Chains A and B, each alone.
Chain A
Amino acid sequence: MYRQTEIVQEKSPGIVGESGEFTINVGPQHPATHGVLHLVITLSGETILKVEPHLGYIHRSIEKMCESLTYRQFIYVTSRMDYLSAHINNHACALAVEKGLQLEIPPRAQVIRVLMDELTRVASHELWWGAMAMDLGAFTPFFHAFRERESINDIMEETCGARLTMNYMVPGGVMQDIHPNFQRRVKEFLKLYKQKIHEYDELVTGNIIFQNRMKNIGILSPEDAVSYGCTGPTARGSAVSCDIRKIYPYEIYDKLEFDEVLEEGGDSFARYMVRIREMQQSIRIIEQLIDNIPEGEFQAKTKAVLKLPKGEFYTRVETARGELGVYIVSEGGTTPYRIKFRSPGFSNLSVLDHIARGSKIGDLVAMMGTLDLVIPDIDR
């Protein structure tokens, strides 16, 4: 039934309260929130006194939906959580199911999974870089970022059949073998990327306006990063070592050579630099693997209907935004009894109020950009 909401109309004198403070709604539809995030900001002039995130505008109850889907089916829903790292979400879920089934994954599948994860990470950081520059008022970087991101999407399209929500990882391996062009296309991408990466620094990183907007803004101390549960580049910008690929290696990450990127500053610029340098580490991983994809099966032999034994299974992976945990409670049936996702965006958003207080409204937008929020990941 249609429910009428009471509309409170403020007349002109009510625009600013007697104390000079006023609240302003940023979102749910606002160019800076990149989605349907709703921030209620209390301001005094241009200075922020409080930020209150309101969630739930894109809540699709994915966790509840997963309870009525089988262990093969529920993975597809998780592509829609953090749509920018769909592969990595699928990967986390596949790992959780495999843990329950105690499956051995063929080496070829492991390498393909890691390759796809790292390509996704680069693509996600590319989009973040463009959107971040757009938050700061520069439009051009967005298009430059998309130029490289498009070629990753083309690679994905060829092998997975989709550009955004790939659904490529399945329990036991990957859905199908890589496309014959895959290795050539990835090498072409690496070549293109290395030619263009210096443009990123010339256009944005080295810009004096950009550096003044980013440095010493939104400082997050290591203690706060830990106590708010921040993970991923957000926490690593405060020099908190939290890369799941290093601490709890899954697949073949323990055999690969790459560095965990840490920055000391804790400000917006440190978080920015972590992501820029992380892209280069991902490229390093891809370079190590692209010529060394072992022959063999791309999927382990599994039964048609998967049944997890009674128990609780937890896996975690490093997405482009931080730590994604998948917690499955099984009663021994074909569907999970309960699923809980620990999404990185939710914890990273919680720190926004803490770091934004006392800064200007323009900085809030920059900070939101460096937290790299994907709203469907927060709401699920």
Chain B
Amino acid sequence: MWSLSHIANEIHRWLNDLFNPTWALIIEMVMAGVAVIGLFAVLGLVLVLMERRVAAWIQIRLGPNRVGPFGLMQSMADTLKLIVKEGLTPDGADKVMFNIAPFIAMIVAMLLMAPIAFAKDFQLWDLNIGVLFVTAVSSLMVVSILMAGWSSNNKYSLMGAMRSGAQIVSYELSAGLSIMTIIVLTGSLQVSDIIHAQNNGWWIFKGHFPVWVAFVIYIIAVTAETNRAPFDLAEAESELTAGFHTEYSGMKFALFFLAEYINVFIVCAIGATLFLGGWMPLHFGTDNAFNQAMDWIPSSVWFFGKTFFLIFLIMWFRWTFPRLRIDQLLNLEWKYLLPISMINLLLATAMAILGWHF
């Protein structure tokens, strides 16, 4: 069958025919890197446009519809504008830190791409601690935000960064614990194992109550982790003008902006992989006509469909809810989400031991 994994295997065979294995591997790595950067750019453009169209739809207006057909070229035009703008560095800023911070944000987002399975057998690096790798690397995002906030020498930026630090570190816990629920049920940290375990039904269907709770907590926690409204305290436009990136302009600002959207994509991809079966088509039971019909839809369509559904959910939150206050935000995590996810994890463990899931 003609699929992404098929293409990847063909390229792999062709390269090994032409070069010796070492060179073939190096060329493959370069190609993978270029593919990630390309995906980055495309996702950035698509997600920004999607956000604007979703916002417009919720806010009873039209949204961008002038540049290109249906406004499709709008984000290209915006990117062009951001590239030609001056990337100013403030006089009092810590110049090295100030200029490195946006790149760290980008690098973190790029690293997170590695263990994501975009389609059947199409994955950059199927490492055996895939999910742990994601949770570990995504915590590094806070470093770039703190660097940006501190080095800007601006009180608004500093406050935004400090808020963000408290917020991301707190919500990491809930996100991690809700991911643990799935790991307990699957018994593996490897992304491909987790997906194959959902061959006879996604975890959201066969995991019962604990998985539903974990899914809701995961969505709340990652919304906070990616600094999206209603948890956008790091930016908090009406309070801190633009929070940690107040002093950034041009492409340096664009990198933060892009990293935010890529992070949204990644957390939604992880959510889709863990709870909604990743690229796995909708299956009920094993080997029946319904499953075969579902298999006709390409696996990449399933993956991106689920991911974009979750992205839409997070965008919906942003354009509907008011923002929380910092103390309410931390109360929500430490007094409600964390205890609930701990009890939920115990429930899930009991369920896994007793074999109550399908």
User: What is the CA–CA distance of A15 and B90 in the complex, to the nearest angstrom?
Assistant: 15
Q: Is A69 an interface residue (CB 8 A)?
A: no
* Chain A proximity of B224: nearest CB distance (Å): 13
* Chain B proximity of A251: nearest CB distance (Å): 36
Please, which residues of chain B bring their CB within 8 A of the CB of A11? 92
A46 touches B326 (CB 8 A): yes
A362 touches B325 (CB 8 A): yes
Please, which residues of chain B bring their CB within 8 A of the CB of A364? 239
Please, which residues of chain A bring their CB within 8 A of the CB of B163? 46
Known: A9-B92, A24-B156. A137 touches B323 (CB 8 A): yes
User: What is the CA–CA distance of A144 and B323 in the complex, to the nearest angstrom?
Assistant: 18
- Residues in chain B within 8 A of chain A (CB atoms): 55, 58-61, 91-92, 94, 153, 155-156, 158-159, 163, 229-230, 232-233, 236-241, 319-328
User: What is the CA–CA distance of A142 and B60 in the complex, to the nearest angstrom?
Assistant: 11
- Of the candidates A10, A46, A136, A142, the one whose C-beta lies within 8 Å of that of B323 is A136
* Chain B proximity of A49: nearest CB distance (Å): 14
B322 touches A204 (CB 8 A): yes
Please, which residues of chain A bring their CB within 8 A of the CB of B159? 46, 361
B241 touches A31 (CB 8 A): yes
A136 touches B238 (CB 8 A): yes
Please, which residues of chain B bring their CB within 8 A of the CB of A363? 325
Q: Is A210 an interface residue (CB 8 A)?
A: yes
* Chain B proximity of A136: nearest CB distance (Å): 4
Known: A137-B322, A143-B60, A360-B327. A15 touches B237 (CB 8 A): no
User: What is the CA–CA distance of A68 and B92 in the complex, to the nearest angstrom?
Assistant: 49
- Of the candidates A22, A30, A147, A209, the one whose C-beta lies within 8 Å of that of B60 is A147
B238 touches A12 (CB 8 A): no
Residue of A nearest to B242 (CB): A31
* Chain B proximity of A232: nearest CB distance (Å): 23
- Residues in chain A within 8 A of chain B (CB atoms): 9-12, 15, 22, 24, 30-32, 46, 133-140, 142-144, 147, 203-204, 207, 209-210, 212-213, 360-365
A140 touches B58 (CB 8 A): yes
A203 touches B320 (CB 8 A): yes
Please, which residues of chain A bring their CB within 8 A of the CB of B92? 9-12
Give 18 A-B contacts (CB < 8 Å), ordered by A residue: A9-B91, A12-B92, A15-B158, A30-B241, A46-B326, A134-B238, A136-B322, A138-B321, A140-B320, A142-B59, A204-B322, A207-B321, A209-B328, A210-B322, A212-B325, A212-B328, A213-B328, A365-B238
B325 touches A15 (CB 8 A): no
* Chain A proximity of B249: nearest CB distance (Å): 16
Known: A207-B322, A362-B323, A362-B325. A137 touches B58 (CB 8 A): no
B61 touches A22 (CB 8 A): no
Chain B interface mostly: loop
A140 touches B324 (CB 8 A): no
The CB with the most chain B CB atoms within 10 A, among A10, A144, A362, A363, is that of A362
The CB with the most chain A CB atoms within 10 A, among B61, B320, B322, B326, is that of B322
User: What is the CA–CA distance of A365 and B322 in the complex, to the nearest angstrom?
Assistant: 13
B59 touches A139 (CB 8 A): yes
A213 touches B238 (CB 8 A): no
Please, which residues of chain B bring their CB within 8 A of the CB of A22? 155
A365 touches B239 (CB 8 A): yes
A209 touches B239 (CB 8 A): no
Known: A207-B321, A209-B324, A363-B325. A137 touches B59 (CB 8 A): no
A15 touches B236 (CB 8 A): no
Please, which residues of chain A bring their CB within 8 A of the CB of B156? 24
User: What is the CA–CA distance of A212 and B332 in the complex, to the nearest angstrom?
Assistant: 12
A361 touches B239 (CB 8 A): yes
* Chain B proximity of A86: nearest CB distance (Å): 26
Please, which residues of chain B bring their CB within 8 A of the CB of A361? 159, 239-240
* Chain B proximity of A227: nearest CB distance (Å): 29
Residue of B nearest to A24 (CB): B155
A143 touches B61 (CB 8 A): yes
Please, which residues of chain B bring their CB within 8 A of the CB of A210? 322
Please, which residues of chain A bring their CB within 8 A of the CB of B232? 137
B325 touches A137 (CB 8 A): no
* Chain B proximity of A8: nearest CB distance (Å): 12
* Chain B proximity of A254: nearest CB distance (Å): 40
B239 touches A139 (CB 8 A): no
**Closest 6 A/B residue pairs (Cβ):** A137-B323, A136-B322, A143-B59, A138-B322, A362-B325, A32-B238
The CB with the most chain A CB atoms within 10 A, among B59, B238, B320, is that of B238
User: What is the CA–CA distance of A142 and B61 in the complex, to the nearest angstrom?
Assistant: 12
* Chain B proximity of A253: nearest CB distance (Å): 35
* Chain B proximity of A137: nearest CB distance (Å): 3
Please, which residues of chain B bring their CB within 8 A of the CB of A143? 59-61
A209 touches B238 (CB 8 A): no
Please, which residues of chain B bring their CB within 8 A of the CB of A31? 237-238, 241
Please, which residues of chain B bring their CB within 8 A of the CB of A360? 325-327
- Of the candidates A46, A137, A212, the one whose C-beta lies within 8 Å of that of B237 is A137
User: What is the CA–CA distance of A197 and B194 in the complex, to the nearest angstrom?
Assistant: 48
User: What is the CA–CA distance of A136 and B239 in the complex, to the nearest angstrom?
Assistant: 9
Residue of B nearest to A22 (CB): B155
User: What is the CA–CA distance of A24 and B159 in the complex, to the nearest angstrom?
Assistant: 11
B230 touches A209 (CB 8 A): yes
A137 touches B229 (CB 8 A): yes
A133 touches B322 (CB 8 A): yes
Please, which residues of chain B bring their CB within 8 A of the CB of A135? 238
Please, which residues of chain A bring their CB within 8 A of the CB of B321? 137-138, 207, 209
Known: A209-B230, A360-B327. 18 other contacts (CB 8 A): A12-B94, A12-B153, A31-B237, A31-B241, A32-B238, A46-B159, A137-B237, A137-B321, A138-B229, A139-B55, A139-B59, A143-B61, A207-B321, A209-B323, A209-B328, A361-B159, A364-B239, A365-B238
Residue of B nearest to A362 (CB): B325
A15 touches B155 (CB 8 A): yes
Please, which residues of chain A bring their CB within 8 A of the CB of B229? 137-138
